């Protein structure tokens, strides 16, 4: 790999990669060769016509080989994949890490078409059409190395704290909350639904005696939104744990996970993020600020913005306004908005003991955008039945779920968090399309 060259002594090497650029000068040719680990400069003294052996009249073999390489380089298209051998030489004058390879052989493994379908200034939709080419860019490559580091840090935290990883089914016989945002699919002689969250199944692990669980997996929402932060298929980060007192226990788990993930990303990729994204990753301090939703609306109103619907959540502008307040007041990028009204929360969220109009729940905002919802769950089956009816749900259709609570279940709670939103906001990107490997939305099912 190119990243390994700097550790080698000067001498013979072999590398492979994509042709990034070619400078074809009269006496010398330069190639910038890139693989997934980095880039290096290749140099070839150009031979524009082979020498002739004066004694035999035949082409000189060495000259002929060099001529063949020169001709091959002159016709190389951007993106062609080549394997070369040559002499590695460290030279601090070379911009690409001080690495230069004098070519001895060049093998054109696969030739790219001469016209590349996307350019640096191509629009987002065009880039998404040719995502495999878009992902070759070092900036895009870094996003998914960051994602790997972030998820590994979360998994490490969970495993070190005795959580069990589960994989829940994505085909469901009935809706988990309502059918409004569910994809219905044919399932043999009947119908099934694509899961919009693993909610019911991670709760099932609590009466099963798992205690603490987590899952990183796909979720589906039939939401015809075209915003920069919505997708019809996304990766959901979920966790659920037993023996909690209230949603404060869930929030403590949540912020500790965020700190673990951000710490790992900053330590491993911080310098590269500054170089390619011009962003300084900040590891947040704990505890994160906590503001009840009603107070957040009051603060936003005092700062000159009225949330359109008094009986609803903050809208995107309201989220940005409260985030600005938190940044100014607490110097923090995260904030928990707590105590949501039961009218805008799912039936399974536990309500306040002294005020049933409020729930033991929260949203987590990061840089002005909601990335997660969490709550203490209601574990008393008779209360669940009544709250489901209030939401217009038929308890008969929730039979398998309600059975979880008929045979003993501890107090528990958890959260679900969108991976792409976290990465988008961490790297200050304008759309989750930039940080999703292959985006799915209302008008995109390809590639």
Residues 6+ apart with CB under 8 A from 188: none
User: Would you say residue 99 lies in a domain?
Assistant: yes
Is the backbone peptide bond immediately before 287 cis, with ω within 30 degrees of 0?
Answer: yes
Q: Which of 84, 110, 136 is the last residue of a domain?
A: 110
The residue with tokens 């929402």 is 221
Domain carrying residue 264: 127-435
How does pLDDT run across 265-298, given as a tens digit for each residue?
A: 999 999 999 999 999 999 999 999 999 999 999 9
* 11 shares its domain with 67: yes
List, as residue ranges, the binding site for ATP. Answer: 370, 418-421
Which tokens hold the place of 394?
Answer: 């038929």
Residue 301 shares a structural domain with residue 344: yes
Same domain, 98 and 222: no
Task: Note whether 177 and 98 are same-domain residues.
Answer: no
Task: Assess whether 186 and 282 both reside in one domain.
Answer: yes
Residue 34 pLDDT class (50, 70, 90 cuts): very high
Q: Which residues are annotated as a binding site for L-aspartate?
A: 177, 221, 373, 377
Question: Quick one: 227 and 368 in the same domain?
Answer: yes
Instruction: Say if 119 falls within a structural domain.
Output: no
Q: What pLDDT is attached to residue 423?
A: 98
| pLDDT score for 432 | 96
CA distance 163 to 166: 10
Q: Does residue 374 belong to any structural domain of this protein?
A: yes
CATH number of the domain to which 364 belongs: 3.30.930.10
Is residue 258 one of the residues assigned to a domain? yes
The set of long-range contacts for 318-327, using a CB threshold of 8 Å and a minimum separation of 24, is: 319/365, 319/368, 319/369, 319/370, 320/368, 322/291, 322/296, 322/365, 322/368, 323/365, 323/367, 323/368, 323/369, 324/368, 325/299, 325/300, 326/289, 326/291, 326/365
DSSP 396: G
Express each pLDDT in 94-117 by its tens digit. Answer: 887 788 999 999 999 999 999 999
3-class secondary-structure state, position 350: coil
* Token couple for 269: 């990729």
Residue among 72, 52, 74 at smallest CA distance from 62:
52
Considering only CA atoms, give the Rg of the chain. 28
401's tokens:
């779920």
Copy the structure tokens of residue 250. 């869930």
Interatomic CA distance for residues 346 and 190, integer angstroms? 27
Is the same domain home to 245 and 137? yes
Could you read off the pLDDT of 374-413 as tens digits, one per residue?
Answer: 999 999 999 999 999 999 888 988 888 999 999 999 999 9
The answer to whether position 356 is within a domain reads: yes
CATH number of the domain enclosing 22: 2.40.50.140
Residues 427, 340 within the same domain: yes
pLDDT tens sequence across 160-193: 999 999 999 999 887 655 566 899 999 999 999 9
Cβ(364)–Cβ(371) below 8 Å: yes
What mean pLDDT value characterizes the chain? 93
Share of the chain above pLDDT 70, in %: 97
Residue 140 within any structural domain of the chain: yes
**What is the percentage of the chain residues whose pLDDT exceeds 90?**
84
Say what the pLDDT of residue 52 is: 64
Predicted local confidence at residue 56, as pLDDT: 55
pLDDT of residue 92: 83
The predicted structure's pLDDT at residue 207: 96
In whole angstroms, what is the distance from residue 345 CA to residue 358 CA? 9
| pLDDT tops 60 at residue 132 | yes
Q: pLDDT tens for residues 205-234? A: 999 999 999 999 999 999 898 888 999 999
Which tens digit of pLDDT belongs to each residue from 341-354? 999 999 999 999 99
Residues 194 and 326 in one domain: yes
Q: How far is CA 285 from CA 263, 336, 360, in A?
A: 11, 13, 23
Asked whether 185 and 193 are in contact (CB, 8 A), the reply is yes
Q: 271 and 382 share a domain?
A: yes
Cα distance between residue 210 and residue 226, in whole Å: 38
Given 55, 78, 110, which residue is the final one in a domain? 110
pLDDT at 98: 83
Positive or negative, the Cα torsion across 170, 174, 179, 185? positive
Q: Are 296 and 384 members of one domain?
A: yes
On whether both 39 and 150 belong to a single domain, the answer is no
Phi, psi (5° rounding) for residue 356? Answer: -65, -5
Q: Is the pLDDT of residue 251 over 60?
A: yes
Which of 67, 84, 110 is the last residue before a domain boundary?
110
Residue-level pLDDT at 286: 97
Helices 138-160/247-277 angle, 10° precision = 150
Number of domains present in the structure of the chain: 2
Residue with structure tokens 């005092």?
A: 302
- Could you tell me the pLDDT band of residue 65, with boundaries at 50, 70 and 90? confident
Q: Is the residue at 229 inside a domain?
A: yes
Residue 118 lies in a domain: no
- Binding residue ranges: 177, 221, 370, 373, 377, 418-421
For 39-56, what is each residue's pLDDT tens digit? 999 999 988 887 765 555
**Which segments of 130-244 does DSSP mark as H helices, in order?**
131-134, 138-160, 199-204
Give yes or no for a contact between 211 and 242, defined as CB atoms under 8 angstroms apart: yes
């Amino acid at each position: 790999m190119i990243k390994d060259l700097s550790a080698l002594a000067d001498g013979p090497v072999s590398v492979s990669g994509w042709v990034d650029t070619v400078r074809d000068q009269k006496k010398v040719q330069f190639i910038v060769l890139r693989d997934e680990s980095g880039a290096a400069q290749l140099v070839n003294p150009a031979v524009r016509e082979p020498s002739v052996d004066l004694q035999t009249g035949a082409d000189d073999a060495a000259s002929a080989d060099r001529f063949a390489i020169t001709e091959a380089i002159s016709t190389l298209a951007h993106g062609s994949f080549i394997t070369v051998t040559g002499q590695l030489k460290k030279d601090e004058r070379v911009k690409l890490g001080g690495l230069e390879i004098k070519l001895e052989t060049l093998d054109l493994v696969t030739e790219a078409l001469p016209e590349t379908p996307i350019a640096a200034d191509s629009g987002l939709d065009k880039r998404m059409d040719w995502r495999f080419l878009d992902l070759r860019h070092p900036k895009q490559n870094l996003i998914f190395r960051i994602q790997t580091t972030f998820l590994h840090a979360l998994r490490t935290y969970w495993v070190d704290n005795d959580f069990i990883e589960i994989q829940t089914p994505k085909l469901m016989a009935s809706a988990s909350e309502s059918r409004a945002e569910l994809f219905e699919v044919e399932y043999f002689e009947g119908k099934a639904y694509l899961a919009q969250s693993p909610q019911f199944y991670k709760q099932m692990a609590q009466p099963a005696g798992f205690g603490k669980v987590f899952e990183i997996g796909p979720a589906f929402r039939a939401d015809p939104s075209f915003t920069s932060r919505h997708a019809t298929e996304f990766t959901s980060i979920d966790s659920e744990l037993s023996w909690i007192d209230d949603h404060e226990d869930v929030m403590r788990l949540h912020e500790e996970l965020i700190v673990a993930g951000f710490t790992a990303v900053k330590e491993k990729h911080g310098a590269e993020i500054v170089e390619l994204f011009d962003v300084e990753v900040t590891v947040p301090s704990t505890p994160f600020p906590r503001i009840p939703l009603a107070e957040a609306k009051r603060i936003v109103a005092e700062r000159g913005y009225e949330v359109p619907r008094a009986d609803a959540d903050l809208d995107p502008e309201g989220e940005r306004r409260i985030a600005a307040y938190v940044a100014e007041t607490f110097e923090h990028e995260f904030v928990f908005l707590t105590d949501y009204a039961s009218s805008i929360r799912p039936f399974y969220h536990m309500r306040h003991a002294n005020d049933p109009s409020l729930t033991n729940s929260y949203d987590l905002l990061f840089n002005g955008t909601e990335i997660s919802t969490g709550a203490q769950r209601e574990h008393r089956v008779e209360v669940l039945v009544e709250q489901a009816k209030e939401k217009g749900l038929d308890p008969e259709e929730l039979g398998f779920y309600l059975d979880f609570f008929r045979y003993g279940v501890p107090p528990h709670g958890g959260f679900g968090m969108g991976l792409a939103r976290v990465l988008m906001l961490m790297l200050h990107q304008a759309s989750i399309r930039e940080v999703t490997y292959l985006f799915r939305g209302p008008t995109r099912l390809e590639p």
